[in-house]
């Protein structure tokens, strides 16, 4: 019953904060909810002297919530499926080269750069953190979050092809980064000496390849079922069962659930939509997943804001976190720049796409969840604090300025062409 009460409180807060933002602040929904939650957390901390019971009870509630489990094992499957079901396969095909390059090579480059620079930074501040743990941090902070930026970019009227690049990269690099994180985590547990290159390659192949194959199988099965019936309520439940059962199966098989959901979502959103849905079913499935996506996003960003109450901050963590913001931005610049300039002669990139791709690499809840999964005794508290600082900067400053940057660059280009 206590879990139900906590869930009720979270939904009430998400609704209240969403209303307040829509009524007064008028910020992008998820960012507005998170900022209000942050301010609420700060208010509770400041009021702790006068209302100690409020602080203790609120902190106990947040501590009882396993953020990693809620996001990675429950919410992520719905969020990725809901995001990918609206992606047009033809758009993905036309932009497949930059999407694959940015979501694979880009993530690997970012992981190595962040890991190497953070190793040097930790040494500078007297923290003897191993290279493998620094690479682990690099992997968890490298995935970008499509949630906070796509709505803003749509209002900035950027080209559809650029929007596809950003959304495709974000959807796929979530899965790639999780696979990379798990692989490095396993290496750190057993030791690099006990794992050969072939073992690492097989681990990647099993996780990523298995996830893509399972997603294809789920999408094919779901499409067949949708094709054989015409009842929108049952068909909505079929997609829901496919996501929940498919993610559970991926976990049981030790393959990438995030990649499975992205592939299954693209399959259902294209082939399933084409041959398996009536216009009524299509409308209900779209509305159901859009609504679920909005609710889960509001809850996710609310929880990110409330996590401020339970994260252990020390002065040295804050200083390293501020420096790490620039490390991550530099890594993003290089990890986008290398594929961008290598592919420039083969792939058509829109005017001003490079700065928008770089600044649009917003970090989000997945990074926080992966950081919280690290053992507390192994510098985990420091990694969590640093990750949280980077994510807050990314969501608030990059999230609130990317739309203005895109509009400014578009207007500047239009002026030059006149």
Residue 228 confidence (pLDDT): 96
Could you report the per-residue pLDDT of 63-86, keeping only the tens digit for each?
988 899 999 989 999 999 998 998
Tell me the pLDDT band of 418, cut-offs 50, 70 and 90: low
Share of the chain above pLDDT 90, in %: 67
3-state secondary structure of 396: helix
Tell me the pLDDT band of 417, cut-offs 50, 70 and 90: low
Identify the CA nearest to 179 among candidates 143, 148, 144.
143
Residue 153 confidence (pLDDT): 66
Identify the CA nearest to 303 among candidates 40, 77, 57, 53.
40
Residue 232 confidence (pLDDT): 96
Q: Is residue 362 predicted with pLDDT exceeding 70?
A: yes
Could you report the per-residue pLDDT of 175-192, keeping only the tens digit for each?
899 999 988 988 887 776
C-alpha angle 274-279-285 in degrees, rounded to nearest 5: 85
Could you report the per-residue pLDDT of 268-326, keeping only the tens digit for each?
999 999 999 999 999 999 999 999 998 998 999 999 999 999 998 999 999 999 999 99
Residue 189 confidence (pLDDT): 78
SS percent in the chain: helix, strand, coil, step 5: 85, 0, 15
Could you report the per-residue pLDDT of 122-163, keeping only the tens digit for each?
999 999 999 999 999 999 999 997 666 666 666 666 788 888
Q: Give the number of residues written for the chain.
A: 418
Identify the CA nearest to 154 among candidates 97, 86, 93.
86
Q: Is residue 399 predicted with pLDDT exceeding 70?
A: yes
């Amino acid at each position: 019953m206590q879990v139900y009460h906590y869930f009720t409180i979270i939904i009430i807060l998400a609704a209240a904060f969403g209303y307040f933002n829509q009524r007064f602040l008028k910020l992008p929904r998820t960012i507005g909810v998170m900022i209000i939650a942050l301010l609420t957390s700060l208010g509770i901390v400041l009021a702790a002297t006068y209302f100690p019971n409020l602080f203790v009870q609120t902190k106990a509630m947040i501590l009882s919530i396993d953020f990693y489990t809620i996001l990675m094992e429950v919410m992520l499957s719905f969020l990725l499926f809901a995001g990918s079901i609206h992606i047009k396969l033809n758009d993905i095909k036309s932009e497949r080269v930059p999407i694959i390059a940015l979501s694979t090579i880009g993530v690997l480059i970012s992981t190595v750069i962040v890991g190497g620079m953070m190793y040097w930074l930790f040494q500078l501040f007297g923290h003897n953190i191993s290279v493998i743990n620094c690479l682990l941090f690099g992997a968890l902070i490298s995935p970008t979050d499509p949630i906070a930026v796509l709505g803003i970019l749509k209002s900035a009227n950027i080209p559809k092809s650029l929007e596809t690049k950003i959304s495709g990269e974000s959807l796929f690099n979530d899965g790639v980064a999780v696979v990379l994180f798990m692989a490095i985590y396993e290496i750190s547990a057993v030791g690099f000496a006990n794992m050969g290159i072939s073992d690492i390659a097989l681990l990647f192949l099993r996780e990523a390849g298995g996830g893509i194959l399972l997603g294809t199988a789920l999408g094919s099965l779901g499409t067949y079922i949708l094709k054989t019936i015409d009842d929108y309520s049952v068909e909505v439940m079929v997609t829901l069962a496919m996501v929940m059962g498919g993610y559970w199966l991926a976990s049981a098989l030790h393959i990438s659930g995030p990649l499975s959901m992205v592939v299954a979502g693209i399959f259902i959103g294209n082939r399933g939509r084409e041959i398996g849905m009536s216009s009524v079913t299509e409308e209900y499935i779209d509305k159901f997943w859009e609504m679920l996506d909005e609710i889960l996003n509001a809850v996710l960003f609310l929880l990110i804001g409330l996590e401020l109450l339970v994260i252990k901050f020390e002065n040295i963590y804050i200083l390293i976190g501020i420096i790490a913001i620039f490390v991550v931005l530099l890594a993003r610049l290089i990890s986008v720049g290398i594929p961008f300039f290598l592919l420039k002669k083969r792939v058509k990139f829109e005017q001003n796409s490079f700065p928008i791709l770089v600044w649009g690499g917003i970090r989000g809840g997945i990074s926080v969840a992966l950081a919280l999964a690290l053992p507390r005794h192994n510098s985990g508290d420091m990694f969590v604090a640093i990750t949280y600082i980077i994510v807050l900067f990314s969501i608030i400053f990059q999230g609130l300025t990317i739309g203005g940057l895109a509009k400014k660059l578009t207007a500047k280009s239009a002026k030059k062409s006149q």
